[in-house]
């Protein structure tokens, strides 16, 4: 079991993100950002993981994460992404999108740029200016794509005042999350269980592709793209299931994996070791999924401090027609042959684990129990 260190920070944490390392850097991650929600005053904060301290009274390890700086944030932080090493983009429940700039020489954060009404409701029944939460943001410097409860997609560019492109009625339901597939293409997930692919090179307001789970309209809350195979996508939603999709094939998920007991809030492939995937949930759990095929025959058991329970999955489409060596381990998961090992990373169930991020051997997550957990030994 990896040692995971807790720090209690007196605010509910909605988002946690590692600061990216410089290209070619051999360092391990040291600095992460957090956003808070549901507090009287919310903040975007930067932390350094520092040295790790001693056992606390609960038998957990006390973390020594040092607060570097923080800045007040208007509304709940709905999403948080680093644009580069100095700039952090925050999505607000007020519909505002803000770029914060970190000044390392005096350890402060300042507002560098803001789009105050990026997301808003229009039409009958909504007041003339009714803000809609901005629910998700994805960055590919200098481009920033935002989605919201208003079903709108915005493409912003840092240092541009106006949106470069807006798809106004992209969705009649709430868009919950967004990721880049390839630079001009993005993928969104919505509150009626659909994945939609959009191509910014096309002028219209229609998606180029729609995928969904037949018959089910379970809201999807999170999405992540495989870092090396851009057609492989993982999603999680209200029912806690993990779905793996191949956007080249059909409109259905390739695998449905029974996962958490409540909403899955985030899913992340490990950026440099993508046979490993991480999920967190409203049910207070944080899971590490290992689909790597090296190593001994895996038993399909759920590991948590010695307690085991069977792990269910079913594979929807037959992948036999694809050359085996090209298949991501996530697409070739036949539960009878390959095994996925799941490890629970938190020592005990807590309130909702809202967010996680992984970089190299390091993981950070934030909870409604006002705690931030960090480990630097993911694969030890």
Q: Is residue 310 part of a domain?
A: no
Q: What's 304's DSSP letter?
A: B
pLDDT score of 269: 97
The answer to whether residues 268 and 224 touch, using CB atoms and an 8 Å cutoff, is: yes
pLDDT score of 312: 39
**Which H helix or E strand runs over 14?**
strand 13-18
Q: Is residue 323 part of a domain?
A: no
Q: Model confidence at 14, in pLDDT bands (50, 70, 90)?
A: very high
pLDDT score of 316: 37
Largest CA-CA distance found in the chain, in angstroms, rounded: 62
Q: Is residue 24 part of a domain?
A: yes
Can you count the helices (H) and strands (E) in the chain? 0, 33
Residue with tokens 């930067």: 46
pLDDT score of 318: 36
Average pLDDT over residues 239-259: 91
Least confident of 14-18, 133-137, 211-215: 211-215
Q: Is residue 317 part of a domain?
A: no
pLDDT reading at 88 higher than 70:
yes
pLDDT score of 303: 39
Q: Rounded to whole angstroms, how far apart are CA atoms 248 and 240?
A: 24
pLDDT reading at 58 higher than 60:
no
The answer to whether residues 43 and 36 touch, using CB atoms and an 8 Å cutoff, is: yes
Percent pLDDT > 70 in the chain is 83
Question: Please, what is the average pLDDT of the chain?
Answer: 86
> What are the phi and psi torsion angles at 179 (to 5°)?
-145, 155
Angle at 145 between CA 176 and CA 367, to 5 degrees: 45
pLDDT reading at 7 higher than 80:
yes
Least confident of 145-149, 174-178, 273-277, 343-347: 343-347
Q: Is residue 356 part of a domain?
A: yes
Q: Give the total number of structural domains in the chain.
A: 1
Domain containing 124: what range? 5-292+331-375
pLDDT score of 200: 94
Give 322-367 pLDDT, tens digit per residue. Answer: 333 345 788 875 554 457 899 999 988 889 999 999 999 999 999 9
Q: Is residue 326 part of a domain?
A: no
pLDDT score of 153: 97
pLDDT reading at 219 higher than 70:
yes
Average pLDDT over residues 168-174: 91
Q: Model confidence at 223, in pLDDT bands (50, 70, 90)?
A: very high
Q: In sequence order, which residues have a C-beta less than 8 Å from that of residue 322 and are 6 or more positions away?
A: 331
pLDDT reading at 24 higher than 80:
yes
pLDDT reading at 380 higher than 80:
no
Q: Model confidence at 300, in pLDDT bands (50, 70, 90)?
A: very low
Q: Model confidence at 128, in pLDDT bands (50, 70, 90)?
A: low
pLDDT reading at 11 higher than 70:
yes
Domain holding 83: CATH number?
A: 2.130.10.10
Q: Is residue 314 part of a domain?
A: no
82-114 residues labelled b (16+ CB within 10 A) or e (exposed):
bbeeebbbbbbbbbbbbbbebeeeeeebeebbe
Q: How far is CA 302 from CA 65, 96, 366, in A?
A: 30, 41, 23
Q: Is residue 299 part of a domain?
A: no
Beta strands in 213-323 (DSSP E): 220-225, 232-237, 242-246, 255-257, 264-269, 276-281, 286-290, 302-303, 313-315
């Amino acid at each position: 079991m990896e040692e995971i260190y807790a720090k209690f920070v007196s605010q509910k944490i909605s988002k946690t993100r590692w600061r990216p390392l410089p290209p070619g850097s051999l360092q391990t991650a040291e600095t992460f950002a957090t956003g808070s929600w549901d507090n009287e005053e919310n903040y975007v904060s930067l932390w350094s993981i520092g040295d790790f301290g001693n056992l606390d009274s609960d038998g957990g390890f006390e973390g020594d994460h040092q607060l570097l700086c923080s800045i007040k944030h208007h509304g709940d932080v709905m999403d948080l992404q680093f644009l580069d090493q100095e700039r952090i983009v925050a999505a607000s429940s007020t519909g505002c999108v803000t770029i914060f700039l970190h000044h390392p020489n005096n350890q402060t954060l300042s507002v560098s740029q803001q789009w105050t009404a990026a997301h808003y409701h229009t039409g009958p029944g909504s007041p003339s200016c009714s803000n809609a939460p901005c629910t998700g943001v994805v960055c590919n410097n200098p481009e920033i794509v935002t989605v919201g409860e208003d079903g709108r997609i915005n493409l912003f560019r840092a240092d541009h005042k106006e949106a470069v492109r807006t798809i106004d009625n992209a969705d009649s339901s709430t868009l919950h999350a967004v990721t880049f597939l390839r630079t001009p293409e993005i993928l969104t997930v919505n509150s009626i269980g659909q994945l939609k692919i959009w191509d910014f090179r096309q002028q219209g307001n229609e998606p180029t592709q729609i995928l969904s789970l037949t018959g089910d309209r379970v809201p999807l809350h999170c999405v992540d793209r495989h870092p090396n195979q851009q057609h492989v996508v993982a999603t999680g939603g209200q029912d806690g299931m993990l779905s793996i999709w191949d956007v080249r094939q059909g409109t259905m998920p390739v695998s449905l994996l029974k996962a958490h007991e409540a909403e899955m809030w985030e899913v992340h492939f490990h950026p440099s070791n993508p046979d490993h995937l991480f999920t967190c949930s409203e049910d207070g759990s944080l899971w590490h999924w290992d689909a790597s095929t090296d190593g001994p025959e895996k038993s399909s058991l759920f590991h948590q401090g010695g307690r085991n329970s069977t792990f269910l999955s079913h594979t929807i489409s037959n992948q036999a027609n694809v050359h085996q060596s090209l298949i991501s381990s996530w697409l070739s998961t036949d539960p009878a042959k390959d095994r996925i090992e799941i490890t629970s990373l938190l020592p005990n169930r807590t309130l909702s684990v809202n967010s996680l991020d992984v970089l190299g051997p390091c993981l950070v997550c934030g909870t409604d129990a006002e705690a931030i957990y960090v480990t630097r030994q993911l694969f030890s």
